[in-house]
């Protein structure tokens, strides 16, 4: 069932967002903050992958004959959530297109041209050459953390161009997290309207009971 796939996608997005927000708040020391940024870069790539798959599930869900009947039963709040998700997928500045671009270049693929362009832009963000130097952190047991490539990936992921400021890196990361959170909440609201309709249509009561709890 597509609704189960969408629920799974929602859980994945929510957990990674919680993980990322937790990572942002626990570090203050310089080396620890660098290691946390690397971890956040990996978390960000996971989030990009989950968001990409979520949009695919929503597309496939809407393409079924079953959903046509579901849509007719959706209350106003459900229709509004669906429209917001459609805008995120194909509006004037859809988050979906940026997700796909990043996913196909530096998130899950090591595209040579994208890395070269990102490295060039990253170097131009700083007036002092030392500020753009690569940082490598070593731990006991030969564990290394390469900070520089993650910064380059961020440049590509958040759409930096020549002339942008290095101060915008954390700002754009924050904006992306905000957009991802909004999308997550919209998917949650949409599911909240879908589930009781599916339960009724499939005759799943009383085996499956719809219950909404607030903690």
pLDDT for 130 equals: 47
pLDDT for 128 equals: 47
Please write the tens of the pLDDT for every residue from 87-146: 888 755 567 777 877 778 887 888 899 889 888 888 777 654 445 455 667 766 677 888
Report the distance separating Cα 108 and Cα 95, nearest Å: 17
pTM here is 0.76
What are the strands, taking DSSP E only, across 59-151? 136-139, 143-146
Helix axes 112-124, 147-157, angle to 10 degrees: 100
Give the rounded percent of residues in the chain with a pLDDT score beyond 70.
80
- What pairs with residue 28 in β-bridges? none
Q: State the average pLDDT for the chain.
A: 80
72: confidence class by pLDDT, cuts 50, 70, 90: very high
Backbone angles phi, psi at 115, to 5 degrees: -65, -40
The residue among 45, 81, 31 whose CA lies nearest residue 183 is: 81
186: confidence class by pLDDT, cuts 50, 70, 90: very high
């Amino acid at each position: 069932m597509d609704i189960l796939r969408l629920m799974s996608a929602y859980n994945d997005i929510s957990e990674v967002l919680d993980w990322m927000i937790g990572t942002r708040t626990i570090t203050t020391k310089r080396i620890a903050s660098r290691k946390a940024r690397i971890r956040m870069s990996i978390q960000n790539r996971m989030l990009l992958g989950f968001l990409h798959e979520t949009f695919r599930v929503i597309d496939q869900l809407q393409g079924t004959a079953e959903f046509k009947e579901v849509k007719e039963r959706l209350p106003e709040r459900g229709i509004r959530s669906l429209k917001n998700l459609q805008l995120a997928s194909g509006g004037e500045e859809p988050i979906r297109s940026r997700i796909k671009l990043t996913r196909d270049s530096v998130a899950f693929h090591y595209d040579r041209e994208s890395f070269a362009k990102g490295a060039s832009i990253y170097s131009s963000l700083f007036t002092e050459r030392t500020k753009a130097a690569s940082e490598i952190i070593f731990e006991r047991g030969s564990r290394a953390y390469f900070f520089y490539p993650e910064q380059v990936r961020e440049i590509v992921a958040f759409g930096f161009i020549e002339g942008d400021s290095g101060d915008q890196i954390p700002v754009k990361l924050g904006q992306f997290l905000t957009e991802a959170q909004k999308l997550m909440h919209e998917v949650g609201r949409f599911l909240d309207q879908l589930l009781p309709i599916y339960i009724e249509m499939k005759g799943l009561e009383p085996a499956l009971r719809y219950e909404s709890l607030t903690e």
